[in-house]
Amino acid sequence: MGTLPYFVPSASRQPHSFQEGLTRHLTVGFYIIYNLLKMGRSPKNTLIGDWGEKNLLWERYCKYNLSWSEFRSMYKNETSKLKALSDIASIDITSEFNDILQNILKITCEAVNAHSGTIMLVGEADNKLRMAASYGLPHDYIEMVYEAAKKEGVPITSSPSGTVLETGKYYLVPNIFEEPKDMPWWKLSKELGFSSQIFTPMKRGLKVIGLLNVYMAKVHRFTDDEIDFVTISASQASSVVQNAKMCTHLKNNILELKGYKENLEEKIKEANKELYDSQQYLNMIIEDSFDGIGVVDERGCFEFGNDNFFKILGWQRKEIIGQFFMKVFPENMREFMLERWNEIQNGIELPYETKIMTKSGEIRNLYVSHAQAEIKRKRKYIVVIKDVTELKKLQLNLKDSNKQLKLLQYLIEGTRGGNTRALILTHLNEKPYNANQLAETLNLDYKTVRHHLGVLLKNGIITKGSEGCSTIYYLSKSVETNLNKFNREFKKA
C-alpha cells in the first residue's frame, strides 16, 4: 500500500523526533477521513483501496506549502466544525421550539465566525415561507424584514430565499449591495452591519421544509469548506426541527389527555382496556375526581377505590377492600341491590339511586353509575358514586316550601278574613307584634286579631314567644321567603 510521507514540503520542516512525526501522521489522517466524509466517501473503503485517492487529498493540503502550525490551525478549525455539527445533533428536542431554532443558529454562526443568521420555515398548512428565528440581530428583526418587504410591495420570497425554496439548492450572495433580489433590504442590511449571505435549504427527502441562512459582516466569497459546513448544518438542523415538531405534537397529545378528567362517567364507558392497564393514567384522572370511583371484581368484592370513594361510603379503605359490596347497605336495601347486581352482570348499565349505611350508622343517599371492563382478561365493574344526601334534603325542603306556599295562598285568598290575615302578615314581616299592638295599628277589634293570629299559628305560618308578660308573634323562618314570593305574584295578578 505504501507509506504515508511526512507532511513536510521542505527539509526545514522535518520532525525533530519519531513521536512528533507519528503525531503529525495521526492528525493528518483524521483530517483526511473528515474530508472523505464530506465528499460522501467511505474512509474504510478508501483506506483499503487505491492509494491514489489519498494522494489527491494529500496534494490538496501540501500544495499550499503549509507550515506545521498553519496545518494545525486548519485542523483546529475543521475540528470545531465537527463539534458544531455534533452539538446541533445533540440539541434537546424537548426544549421550547424557539429555543431549539436559536441554538441551531448560534452554533452554526459561531462555527464560521458569522455576523448573524436566520431560519425560515415552510408552513405545514399553507406551504408559505416565513421567518421563524434570528440570531445576532435585534429582537424585532423579523418584523423589520416584513415591514421592509411591505414598504416595497414585494413578498418575502422575492429575496434569494424564494429561489432556494423553488430550486432546492443553496444561493450565495457575496455582496448584498450588488444582489438585485436583496434590494428591498439593502438599507436594513447596512443599518445592521452585514454584507454577504448564504441561503441553504433544509430538506425532508426532496422537499424543502425551511432555510438556514448565514450572514457575514463584510463582503465575503464563501469557500467550498464553508458551503459544505453550512449545507451539512442545514441537513442536521432539518432532522432536529422535524424531531422537535414531533416532540411538540406528542406533548400536545399528552395535554389533550388531561382534558379527559371532565365528564368522568362518560369517559369510563368509552375507555378501552389499554386505559385501565395504565396505572399512571388511572391515577391521574381518578385521584383528582370529586366523585367516588371504585372497582368491584366478578365476585362482587371491593378491589379498588379512590380517596373520595371511601370518604363517601364512610368506611376506611382497609375495612372495605376484599369485602362483599353488600356490607355497606342497610337491611332494607339488600334485595334492591341484589337485583341491581344481577342487572350489572347481564350487561344492563342503567344508573340508579340507593342508600348506604356508614360505619357510624349514618344513612346516605347515593347516585350510582357503572360500566363493565376487562382488565388482564378478568371482568371488572367500574362504579362511580355521588353523594346526593344534601340534594335530597333540599328537594324535600322545596317540596314542603311549595306546600306551605299553597297553604298561605289558601288562607289569604281562599277563605273569609283573608285580607285581614294578609295585613297581619305584612306587619309581622316588618317586625314582631303582640295582639294589642296589631289591633291598634290595624284599627281592628282585639278579638278579631286574636282569632286570625290563632288560625295563622295553627297552620305554622307564624310562631310566638314571650316578652315579659306579653306574647309576641313572629313570622316563621320558612314563611318569609314564601310571603315575599306570594306578594310578587299577588302584585302581578
Q: Residue 320: CA atoms inside 13 Å, Cβ hemisphere, count? A: 26
Strands (E), 185-269: 196-204, 207-216
The set of cell numbers assigned to 188 is 436594513
According to DSSP, the residues that pair with 383 across neighbouring strands are 294, 370
- Secondary structure string (H, E, C) spanning 277-289: HCHHHHHHHHCCC
The set of cell numbers assigned to 489 is 305574584
Question: How many whole angstroms from its chain centre is CA 443?
Answer: 73
The whole-number pLDDT of residue 50 equals 41
Residues 164, 157: Cα–Cα separation, whole Å: 9
Which residue has 391521574 as its cell numbers? 284
What is 162-174 written as a DSSP string? Answer: HHHHHH-S-EEES
Question: How many whole angstroms from its chain centre is CA 73?
Answer: 49
Q: In this structure, are residues 152 and 184 in contact, taking their beta carbons and an 8 Å threshold?
A: yes
Name every residue whose Cβ is closer than 8 Å to that of residue 323 and which is 6 or more positions away in sequence.
301, 302
Q: Residue 417: helix, strand or coil by DSSP?
A: coil
For the beta carbon of residue 38, count every other beta carbon within 10 angstroms.
Answer: 15
The set of cell numbers assigned to 88 is 446541533
- pTM exceeds 0.85, yes or no: no
Our CA angle for 373, 377, 378, nearest 5°, is 60
The set of cell numbers assigned to 406 is 299553597
User: What proportions of the chain, in percent to the nearest 5, are helix, strand and coil?
Assistant: 55, 20, 25
Q: In this structure, are residues 330 and 323 in contact, taking their beta carbons and an 8 Å threshold?
A: no
The whole-number pLDDT of residue 488 equals 52
The whole-number pLDDT of residue 275 equals 52
Residues 110, 48: Cα–Cα separation, whole Å: 36
Residues 362, 355: Cα–Cα separation, whole Å: 10
CB-neighbour burial class of residue 443 (10 A; exposed 0-12, middle 13-18, buried 19+): exposed
- Can you give the pLDDT of all 493 residues of the chain as single tens digits? 333 333 333 333 444 454 545 455 555 555 555 555 555 544 444 443 444 444 444 454 555 554 545 555 555 566 777 888 888 888 888 888 889 899 999 999 998 999 999 999 998 888 888 888 999 999 889 899 999 999 999 998 899 999 999 999 999 999 999 999 999 999 999 999 999 999 999 998 889 999 999 999 999 999 988 899 899 889 888 888 888 888 878 877 777 766 666 666 666 666 555 655 566 666 666 677 778 888 999 899 999 888 889 999 999 999 999 999 999 999 999 999 999 999 888 888 889 999 999 999 999 999 999 888 888 888 899 899 988 887 777 666 656 666 767 777 777 776 777 788 888 888 888 888 998 998 898 888 888 889 888 888 888 888 888 877 788 998 877 676 556 555 554 444 4
The answer to whether the Cα torsion of 319, 321, 327, 328 is positive or negative is positive
- The DSSP code for 305 is E
Enumerate domains of the chain plus CATH numbers: 11-66 (no CATH), 86-253 (3.30.450.40), 264-387 (3.30.450.20), 392-492 (1.10.10.10)
Q: In this structure, are residues 7 and 1 in contact, taking their beta carbons and an 8 Å threshold?
A: no
Q: In this structure, are residues 475 and 465 in contact, taking their beta carbons and an 8 Å threshold?
A: no
Q: Residue 353: helix, strand or coil by DSSP?
A: strand
Nearest to 432 by CA among 483, 461, 475, 470: 475
